[in-house]
Amino acid sequence: MTTFSRSLMRSICLAACLIAAAAVAAAPASAGENALKGFWGPPMLDGESAFPIYEDLGVDLFQIQLRWERTARTRPQNPTDPADPAYSWPANLDFAVQEARKHDMRVLIMVQGAPPWANGGSPEWSVPPTSDSDFAAFLTAAAKRYGGVRHWMIWGEVNNDFNWKGSVRRYARLLDRSYVTLKRSSRRNLVIGGNTFSGGDTKPVSFVQHLRLADGKRPRMDLYGHNPFSRRRPIISSRPSAQKFIAIPDIRRFDRTLQRSLRRPGRKRLRMFLSEYALPTQPNDGAFRDYFVSERTQARWIRDAWRTTRREPSVYGLGWFSLRDTAASDGRAGRFAGLIAPDGRRKPGYSAFKRG
């Protein structure tokens, strides 16, 4: 082979390698690569930061509440100014935002709860505000205080009467106004709406179908939030949930409903953020009293949940609730949906979530 031929061959090989590398770099990320790992848990555990644990678990997005009625017990004079004396910002949220930054995590803030001065004098935080402007002003102040936060969830489990004592249309209006407000603060903000529970007083499909503004238009949002709690194995091949529930096995048909009902014309598909998923391993206090599995099943179903959701392009992320079990001392059941037992022992589910 001549020197010229060898040079030509080297050039061709180099060009082929560059083209192949460019193709790999330009290839769209798979659903699995895009799915975020979320977590609802305490910012501190036993007096120390819990974020090294979340980092070990591979958490991408730490989720935490911001309660309006606790932060602004009296009406602020300058409600869009986070420094207004009426505001008492929660120390645990300030700490969580700082720690998340140190551990290279993002933060999701769920904003909910209306103070009496904003909801017509009701002592119940779940009564919606009478004025969207009041809620928008609070969101503006929060977005200024937590300027690095990009994920904002508007209320939680609004299809449960306990959490939202208003109509679906009333929520649609508040959500749309929140979207405008948060996008005005930063175009990079992502607004998560809906945030339904798998069952609820208004079933998720019906809620989505009726989520309309007064003029019939669809409220704006970037992601649709849903909490897919279920007693069933989280794989698509499981039979559909009964009683119009929407659990992980039902997310494909729920996605079709979302696109038909809420995707705005000319916009990208509306993806789901499955914000809360939990599998208690003992009889539990509260809502999970009769809903529990063995520790081995918890681990197996966590693996199933990750395999399922990472294969679904409609899923933006999956969040877990919660970190460590708490045993009650007054004779009642404790809370046992954690990945860590009360004595600090890591359940098999810990490793399953970490590998997810």
Q: Measure Cα distances from 251 to 69, 88, 101, 313, 316 in Å.
A: 33, 39, 32, 11, 12
- Report if residue 266 sits inside a domain: yes
Does residue 122 form part of some domain? yes
Task: Give the pLDDT of the chain (356 residues) as one tens digit per residue.
Answer: 444 344 434 443 433 333 333 333 333 334 445 689 999 999 999 999 999 999 999 999 999 999 999 999 999 999 999 999 999 999 999 999 999 999 999 999 999 999 999 999 999 999 999 999 999 999 999 999 999 999 999 999 999 999 999 999 999 999 999 999 999 999 999 999 999 999 999 999 999 999 999 999 999 999 999 999 998 999 999 998 888 999 999 999 999 999 999 998 888 899 999 999 999 999 877 666 778 999 999 999 999 999 999 999 999 999 999 999 998 766 556 789 999 999 999 999 999 999 99
Domain presence at residue 29: no
Q: List helix spans (H) across 106-157.
A: 132-145
pLDDT of residue 294: 96
Q: Is residue 32 part of a domain?
A: no
Per-residue pLDDT, 15: 39
Q: In the Cβ-directed half-sphere of 159, how many Cα atoms lie within 13 Å?
A: 26
CB 77 within 8 A of CB 117: no
pLDDT confidence of residue 265 = 87
Q: Domains in the chain: how many in total?
A: 1
The whole domain housing 319 covers 37-355
The closest alpha carbon to 35, from 286, 305, 258, 341, belongs to: 305
240 torsion bin: left (phi>0), alpha (psi -120 to 50), beta (else)? beta
Domain-located, residue 4: no
User: DSSP class of residue 218?
Assistant: P
Please give the pLDDT value at position 119: 98
Residue 14 within any structural domain of the chain: no
| Cα-based distances in Å from 6 to 3, 18, 19 | 5, 18, 20
Q: What local confidence, expressed as pLDDT, does residue 214 receive?
A: 95
- Angle 68-73-74 (CA atoms, 0-180°, nearest 5)? 120
Per-residue pLDDT at 323: 98
- Say what the pTM is: 0.89
| Position 31 in a domain | no
In a domain, 25, yes or no: no
- The first and second tokens of residue 137, run together, are 């002003």
CATH for 120: 3.20.20.80
